């Protein structure tokens, strides 16, 4: 079952700051959820968002690995 990004964006919050997240899309799929306040990305693995601080990826690291991904406005 594909991730319903709009639904998830309503539910999910950054576990660090409880702020809202931005979906990062890659090849029409949601690849991760970014918190711009914390400068981290929570990856989506096998359609499941991994909302763990320990699993968060630094935004610059993410951008280096996912140059194709773009933030959904
Ligand atoms: Zn945050």
Q: pLDDT digits over 10-49, tens only?
A: 999 999 999 999 999 988 889 999 999 999 999 999 989 9
Residue 66: pLDDT band with limits 50, 70, 90 = confident
Q: Give yes or no for residue 2 having a pLDDT over 90.
A: no
What are the start-end ranges of the E strands in the chain?
22-26, 29-35, 40-45, 48-49, 57-58, 70-71
Question: What is the CA(63)–ligand 1 centre distance, in A?
Answer: 17
Q: Output the CA 15–ligand 1 centroid distance in Å.
A: 7
Predicted structure pTM score: 0.84
| Distance of CA 40 from the midpoint of ligand 1 (Å) | 7
> Distance (Å, rounded) from C-alpha 42 to C-alpha 13?
10
User: Is the pLDDT confidence value at 73 over 70?
Assistant: no
Domains, the chain, with CATH or none = 5-71 (2.20.25.10)
């Amino acid at each position: 079952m594909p991730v319903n990004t709009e639904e998830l964006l309503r539910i999910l919050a950054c576990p660090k700051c409880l702020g809202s997240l931005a979906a990062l899309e890659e090849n029409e799929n949601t690849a991760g959820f970014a918190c711009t306040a914390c400068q981290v990305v929570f990856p989506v693995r096998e359609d499941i968002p991994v909302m763990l601080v320990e699993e968060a990826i630094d935004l610059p690291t993410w951008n280096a690995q996912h140059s194709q991904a773009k933030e959904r406005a």
